[in-house]
Structure 1
Amino acid sequence: MLQGDRLLARLHQLQGLSRSELVRACGYATQSDDGREHLHFTDFYEAVLEAKGVHLPGQGGRWRASRSAQGRHLSFNTHVHFNGNLMVGRAYTEKLQLKPGDQFRIHLHDGEIRLTPLEPADAGGDGATP
């Protein structure tokens, strides 16, 4: 499924096609086990809106319709585990192309937790430069 700038560029190339053809050409079609095609118009339209910078409240954003390697829908929901930890699953880290060892700064603001990737030079811990 195309997303972001790649989706917008492809739509520009495909001007004049029907809506169904656009959905298919941008990768928002699947086939069921019995061979029937399913066009995912809602997921396509949400991806177009997201690519154009329109973020609808209450929506999971551009990855809502994505599937992880295990076939589950990403929901952007989690819970606090018995030990107080929050889990961010592999499907999310793969979507963001994160690798083991990547480091983040944690920001708490207005009841939200935000993670900002650290550059390798920032990841030293004490802020001192070599």
Structure 2
Amino acid sequence: MAIPTAPLTGKALLKKLKELSHLSKSEKAQACGYGTETKSGEIRTNLSAFIEAVLEAEGVSVDPEHAIGRGRTPTYRVTVHANGQLLIGKAYTEMMGLQPGDEFEVKLGYKHIHLVKLAAGSGSEE
């Protein structure tokens, strides 16, 4: 089986996978360019890169820099805890680019809460 010179990615990869549904995982990876030929002529399959490319083509980021929280998808819902507190999880604070120590003013409205970020150093010092 000839290995393509450049590994397939994105929509081209997904399209090729549909055509190769009858092959094994290693054969699919090789046919999509995720294999290299060794000096002895053997074909070594890079399954890790292949699976990562498939996930990214499906819209799942495996890069820790772009991951949200612990892999959970935010639901945009929170619950009041038994002690009366609301917890805004790490996934949301990361999406908003918030850093430890950022301060907010809480503005209550009819059926909503707004968090207004305060400029650095403008918090009330008592």
TM-score range, shorter chain: 0.3 to 0.5
Task: Using structure 1 for the length normalisation, give the TM-score.
Answer: 0.46
Q: Which has the higher helix share?
A: 1
Task: Using structure 2 for the length normalisation, give the TM-score.
Answer: 0.47
Larger Rg computed on CA atoms? 2
